A and B are shown apart, each in its own frame.
Chain A
Amino acid sequence: VRTLSAAILAAVVLSGCGLFQAYQAPVSTKAPVVCEAFTGDAASVCAQAGDILVKGYITVAAIDQDIKKTAPTGIWTKAQAQDYLDQAKEARKKLDAAWDVYATGNYQAALDQANVTDTLITALEKKIAADAAKGKTQ
C-alpha cells in the first residue's frame, strides 16, 4: 500500500512540479519600461510585481475557460457555476485594484496585493477542481 501510495503521490507531485516550473519563469523576458528607472531590489520588486500580476490574470482567464468548458457538462448546478464565476470575477477585480496601485508607482504595495490575490486565485482553482472531481464521481 505504501509503495502504491508513494508512486501515485510522486506522480501527482512531479506533474505539479513541472508545471510549477513553467509558472516560475517570467512571462516577459523584458522588464516593464517603468522598472528601467530602478536598480537592485527596487527594480526586482517592480519587475516581480508586474510578472505576478500578469500571471494572476492568466490564471483567472484559465479558470474562466475551465468554467466555460465544464458548465455544459452538467456536473454543477447553475448556482454553483455562477458562484465559481463570481469568485473568479472578484479575483479579477482584486487584480485590477493591484494593477491600479502598480500604475501609481507603488510597486511594493502592488506586489503585496498581487501575492495575496494570487493565493486566493490558487485556493479558488483548487476548490473548483475538487468540486468538479466530486461531481464526476457522484
Chain B
Amino acid sequence: MTAAVAVALVELAPVIEASIEAYKILQDAKPILDTYRAQAAQGATFEQIATSIRALTVTAETDAQAAVDKLPAA
C-alpha cells in the first residue's frame, strides 16, 4: 500500500463509518416500514396504520428514555 492510499483511507474512514452508522439507523426503520406495508396489504386503512405508528413512537421513546436513565452520571 502506498503512502497516498494509506492517507486516503485514513481520511475516508470517518466518512465511511458515519455512512455505515446512518445506514444502520435507516435499516432499523426498514422493518418498521415493512411491517406497516404488510398491514396495508392485508387491508388496514391509512388511519389504522397511522394510529399504530404513533403509538409505536411513544413506546420507542419510553424505552429509549429507560435505557438512557440506566447510564451512569458522568
| A interface residues, Cβ below 8 angstroms from B | 1, 4-5, 8, 12, 15-16, 19, 22-23, 25, 27-33, 50, 53-55, 57-68, 71-72, 76-79, 81-82, 85, 88-89, 92, 99, 125-126, 128-130, 132-134, 136-137
**Cross-chain pairs A/B with CB under 8 angstroms, 16 sampled:** A1-B8, A28-B44, A29-B41, A58-B29, A58-B53, A62-B32, A67-B68, A71-B68, A76-B71, A88-B64, A89-B61, A125-B22, A129-B18, A129-B19, A129-B22, A136-B17
Q: Give Cα A88–Cα B65 distance, bound, in whole angstroms.
A: 11
Partner of B49, one of A19, A27, A67, A82: A27
Partner of B64, one of A31, A55, A64, A134: A64
Task: Please indicate the chain A residues that have their CB under 8 angstroms from the CB of B47 in the complex.
Answer: 32-33
Which B39-53 residues have C-beta < 8 A from chain A? 40-41, 44-47, 49-50, 53
Q: Give Cα A68–Cα B68 distance, bound, in whole angstroms.
A: 7
Partner of A128, one of B4, B25, B60: B25
Decide if B37 touches A27 in the complex (CB within 8 Å): yes
Known: A1-B4, A8-B16, A32-B47. A57 touches B54 (CB 8 A): yes
